[in-house]
Structures are given as C-alpha cells and as structure tokens.
Amino acid sequence: MKAARIHAYGDPDVIRVEDAPLPAIGPDDVLVRTVAASVNPVDWKIRRGYLAQMLAHPLPLTLGWDVSGIVEQVGAHVTAFKPGDAVYSRPDIRRNGTYAEYVAIRAAELAPKPATISHVEAASLPLVSITAWEALITTAGLTAGQRVLIHAGAGGVGSIAVQLAKAKGAHVTATASAAKAALVRSLGADEVVDYRDPAAFAAARDLDIVFDTIGGATQDASWDMLKPGGFLVSITQPPQPERAAAEGKRAGFVFIDPSAPILRDIATLVDAGKIRPLIGGEYRLDHAALAHAASETGRTTGKIVLYTGQP
Ligand SMILES: NC(=O)c1ccc[n+]([C@@H]2O[C@H](COP(=O)([O-])OP(=O)(O)OC[C@H]3O[C@@H](n4cnc5c(N)ncnc54)[C@H](OP(=O)(O)O)[C@@H]3O)[C@@H](O)[C@H]2O)c1
C-alpha cells in the first residue's frame, strides 16, 4: 500500500511517499481503508523529533493521527464494526498513523462517521474535536451561560471549540487576526478580538473560561482575562498551579488520548447541524510534505486534509 512515512526526523522533505506493508491487525483491531486523513501540528512536531523521547516511535513511521474511511476487515474479538462500515477516528499516537491507504486501529478508538458529511470533512474532525471537548467540557467544566474566550478561533482546534462552546450555550469570544474575524463570527462567535490590537486584547475581561491554544505570552496574558475563580485551560503548556493559587483562579492542562465516546457525541452535533468542519487546504497524499510546510506556518485556517484513498 501507499504511505507517507519518515525514516529519520527532520524538515518536511524527510517525508517519503512509498510502498509500505499492509498493517497486520490484532484481535481487537480493525483494518480501515482510508479515504482521507488530516494534518495536525503534532504530526510535524513528531516528524521533527520533538516528541521522540516521550513516544519512542520505531522508524520508519507512518505519520498522521486523524482518519475517515471504510472498515475493510475486523479482528477476531471485534463485534462493534463490520466490513463496509463508515468510521472516523483519532487513533493511538504510539502506533503507525493514517497517511496511508490502510491503517490498523483498535475498535475501541473508532466511531461511526457523521452521516451528513463527506469522508474528507469527517477526517478533519477527530483530533481537534476531542481536544476541544476535553479542554472545555471535561477539564474546565463549561456550562450554559458561561463567558468563554477561545484563542485562535480560526485555527484547527479553535474553529471547533467556538462551535462546541456555542452548542453548549456559552457566550463565546474568540481571538483571530482582523482578516479572519468575519469567518470566526460565521462559526458562531459572539465577539471576535484582534489579537494584534493590544487595546482590544486588554479589553477582554471577566471571563469564566479562557482556552489557551497558543502558549507563551498569550497564556501569560490570559490570567488577567479571567474573573476570580475563572478557569484557564491550556493544550500547549501547563499553566503554573502556583500562579493559579496566587490569583484565586483555576487551571488545567490537557494532552488528549483517543475517545470514541466523544466522537459519537461530536457526530450527533454534526448531524444536528451544530458543528461544521472548516477545511482550509486539501492535498494529495503525494504532497504531504507541502501540507506539513503549510501547517508549520501557524497561519492556516481550519484544517488541512490529505486525500489518502478512493471515496
Ligand atoms: N495537548 C493536546 O492534546 C493538543 C491537541 C491539539 C492541538 N494541540 C496544540 O495546540 C496548538 C494549536 O493547534 P491547532 O491545530 O489549532 O493549530 P493551527 O490550526 O495550526 O492554528 C493556526 C491558527 O492560529 C492562529 N494564531 C496564530 N497565532 C495566534 C495568536 N497569537 N493569537 C491568536 N491566534 C493565533 C492563526 O490565525 P492567524 O492566521 O489569524 O494568525 C491560525 O488560524 C498547537 O500547538 C497544537 O500542537 C495540543
């Protein structure tokens, strides 16, 4: 089968689109014939070797941990899926990934694909949706009526976080560059703050939750945006507990795992018209290196999708 793999860590040009063995499936696995995968910053962080100590992947490694496709074959213990089912997943990041025509995924990490969208759209959702859910709902405990600020509302995670927070009844403020403000409003944001405008940025105050998708100076500035007792949740760097205590605020950090239950809830929201995928770039698998270079700019809109197989 065709796969986009790395044999060494490095720049985008270490990605080789080549023949790779068909993945072997264990008794709890499903072999998925992929239609599309999507690109997340973690893909190029792994490609660069930034997570090599934490994940210790054997090389060569097939990149990519988002997929939508069709069940080709199931392991001996699998009863929840059968060949021909349309599924989507953010599979285990410790295994070979989804930039390939086929991928072996634990059945427990798969959910039925949302019925009302294409495989290409569905492939854009799993990782960012699980992230937005774990941050806003599981960790920060978002409830209806709360005032939430989401950094990078036009990004992969932010574009879903804005819609999820709205679907849960929050008042949503999002940061974005001025050129992307209308787009972020169209996702449901009540207010959009230009993060390059210091006055507008400083005016965002008294929030119940701030979702930090950027880190560094953005995380630092986020503390002042919270009301007393407010919650700073980050996916980029753990907020300091000492600072939370000193300010009388709460804080948490999320690093996601696969979650089929969340993907089932997300599919319900998608099919109810409450969440729509936002795709900012589409590439053939052969051009995975170009897709990585685009993601690494940090300026993309929504998600980048890779065509990995036939619909
Ligand atoms: N811990 C976890 O489990 C987890 C899970 C998912 C993602 N992450 C991490 O979270 C981060 C975001 O992921 P992503 O997929 O959303 O990234 P992304 O799609 O690449 O984000 C790109 C967006 O960020 C915006 N942006 C850049 N700088 C900004 C700033 N200072 N303020 C506001 N917006 C800014 C850009 O908008 P403009 O073009 O307008 O600047 C662009 O739309 C990455 O570091 C990723 O690795 C962690």
The pLDDT value given to residue 33: 98
- Average confidence score pLDDT of the chain: 97
Mean pLDDT of 247-258: 98
Ligand 1 centroid, distance to 154 Cα (angstroms) = 8
The pLDDT value given to residue 166: 98
> Reduced to 3 states, what is the DSSP secondary structure of residue 245?
helix
Atom of ligand 1 nearest to the CA of 157: 16
Ligand 1 centroid, distance to 153 Cα (angstroms) = 9
User: DSSP E strands: which ranges in the chain?
Assistant: 2-6, 15-19, 29-39, 61-62, 67-74, 86-89, 102-106, 110-112, 147-150, 171-176, 191-194, 207-212, 226-234, 250-253, 279-284, 303-307
The pLDDT value given to residue 311: 78
The pLDDT value given to residue 303: 98
Mean pLDDT of 276-288: 98
Ligand 1 centroid, distance to 53 Cα (angstroms) = 23
Query: Which tokens go with 89?
Result: 């997943």
Give the fold, CATH level 3, of 2-125+277-307: Quinone Oxidoreductase; Chain A, domain 1 (3.90.180)
Atom of ligand 1 nearest to the CA of 215: 45
The pLDDT value given to residue 246: 97
Ligand 1 centroid, distance to 130 Cα (angstroms) = 15
Instruction: Evaluate whether 203 touches 225 at the Cβ level (below 8 Å).
Output: no
The pLDDT value given to residue 310: 84
Under the banding of pLDDT at 50, 70 and 90, the label for residue 267 is: very high
> Reduced to 3 states, what is the DSSP secondary structure of residue 270?
helix
Residue pLDDT, tens place only, 121-158: 999 999 999 999 999 999 999 999 999 999 999 999 99
Pairing outcome for strands 147-150 and 207-212: parallel
Residue pLDDT, tens place only, 67-82: 999 999 999 999 999 9
Residue nearest to atom 5 of ligand 1 (CA): 131
Cα-flanking dihedrals φ and ψ of residue 102, to 5°?
-140, 150
Ligand 1 centroid, distance to 227 Cα (angstroms) = 24
Judging by beta carbons within 10 Å of its beta carbon (0-12, 13-18, 19+), is residue 62 exposed, middle or buried?
buried
Q: Where are the alpha helices (DSSP H) in the chain?
A: 41-47, 52-55, 119-123, 126-133, 156-167, 181-186, 198-203, 216-222, 241-247, 260-271, 288-296
Share of the chain above pLDDT 70, in %: 100
Residue pLDDT, tens place only, 157-177: 999 999 999 999 999 999 999
Q: Which residues of 232-265 are buried (b: 16+ CB within 10 A; e: fewer)?
A: bbbbbeebeeeebeebebbbbbbebebbbebbeb
Ligand 1 centroid, distance to 177 Cα (angstroms) = 12
Could you tell me the residue ranges of all domains in the chain? 2-125+277-307, 128-253
Residue pLDDT, tens place only, 210-219: 999 999 999 9
Pairing outcome for strands 171-176 and 147-150: parallel
Residue nearest to atom 22 of ligand 1 (CA): 155
Mean pLDDT of 11-39: 98
Q: How far apart, in whole angstroms, are the C-alpha atoms of residue 22 and residue 250?
A: 47
The pLDDT value given to residue 189: 98
For residue 201, is pLDDT > 90? no
Q: How far apart, in whole angstroms, are the C-alpha atoms of residue 224 and residue 300?
A: 28
Under the banding of pLDDT at 50, 70 and 90, the label for residue 197 is: very high
CATH 3.40.50.720 fits 128-253, yes or no: yes
Find, among 5, 103, 7, 1, the residue nearest to 59 by Cα.
7
For residue 304, is pLDDT > 90? yes
Measured from CB, residues less than 6 Å from any atom of ligand 1 are 40-42, 128, 131, 151-152, 154-158, 175-177, 180, 195, 213-214, 218, 235-236, 254-256, 295, 298-301
Mean pLDDT of 213-239: 97
Cα-flanking dihedrals φ and ψ of residue 74, to 5°?
-120, 150
Which CA distances in Å does 161 have to 47, 110, 302? 26, 21, 11
Q: Which DSSP letter does residue 301 get?
A: -
Share of the chain above pLDDT 90, in %: 98
Ligand 1 centroid, distance to 152 Cα (angstroms) = 6
For residue 44, is pLDDT > 90? yes
For residue 50, is pLDDT > 90? yes
> Given ligand 1 and candidates 214, 218, 257, which is best to mutate, with the most ligand atoms within 8 Å of its CB?
214
Residue nearest to atom 43 of ligand 1 (CA): 155
